[in-house]
């Protein structure tokens, strides 16, 4: 049995690796040319809230078939 299969140990190792990681190269995925309305929500996770963008079609395209 691996020591990382114990949730407490795995969480500790993940947090240590996250603290030591180089966060300078964070890339945010954006769709600036997409004709859509956007809203931002926070999704709770056990490691903290994550900001997410919800894309919805504009009102003119809402009833258009795909």
The alpha helices in the chain, defined as continuous H runs, are 7-20
Distance, in Å, from the CA atom of 5 to the CA atom of 3, rounded to the nearest integer, reads 5
Long-range contacts of 29-35 (CB under 8 A, 24+ apart): 31/55, 35/61
User: How does pLDDT run across 14-66, given as a tens digit for each residue?
Assistant: 899 888 876 665 566 666 777 777 788 999 988 888 888 888 777 665 566 66
pLDDT for 12 equals: 92
DSSP bridge pairs for 41: 52
Distance, in Å, from the CA atom of 37 to the CA atom of 59, rounded to the nearest integer, reads 9
Q: What are phi and psi of 14, to 5 degrees?
A: -65, -40
pLDDT for 63 equals: 62
């Amino acid at each position: 049995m691996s020591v990382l299969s114990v949730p407490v140990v795995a969480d500790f190792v993940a947090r240590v690796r996250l603290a030591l990681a180089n966060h300078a190269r964070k890339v945010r995925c954006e769709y600036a040319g997409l004709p859509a309305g956007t809203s931002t929500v926070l999704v709770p996770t056990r490691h903290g809230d994550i900001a997410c963008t919800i894309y919805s079609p504009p009102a003119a395209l809402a009833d258009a078939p795909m």
